[in-house]
Amino acid sequence: MNAQAPGGTPPPAAAAAPARTWTDADLDKLMKEIGGTVGALRKSIDAQNAETAKEQADKIEALFEDVDDFWSARNVKDAAELADDAAEHADHVEDAIDAKDFAKAAEHMKLLQSTCGGCHGKYRDKAPDGGYRIKP
């Protein structure tokens, strides 16, 4: 049974949530969180700590989905695709961990990190203060 407003018309559709407005500071925060989590994940893979490694890989995947959203909002398709590739590599790391194949997980980590390097080389600049910024 469809709910209908008085007069036989369907109720108005709920308004869609407004799109997030991403700032350079948002990307900086994501990158710092990714950097720390990637380092921790490498250690967890080396120690063959499946439970922790799986949580970290899942977190990295979610963070890169946010990075994809950041670049998509700015209409930078190549960077968004690189972020999507990185999220996919994190998912493959998680799959390898599920299979207890830590050598395969380490291989996917290398692919993930090469994706990071490719994007950083193309879209990141060293700022005068020693930090990093998006290339103008």
The candidate with the shortest Cα–Cα distance to 104, out of 117, 125, 89, is 89
Distance of CA 43 to the CA centre of its chain: 20
The DSSP 8-state label assigned to residue 135 in this structure reads: -
2-12 confidence digits (pLDDT tens): 445 555 555 55
Rounded to two decimals, the pTM is: 0.83
User: All domains of the chain, ordered by start, with CATH?
Assistant: 24-127 (1.20.120.10)
**Highest averaged pLDDT of the listed ranges 29-33, 125-129, 130-134:** 29-33
98-118 confidence digits (pLDDT tens): 999 999 999 999 999 999 999
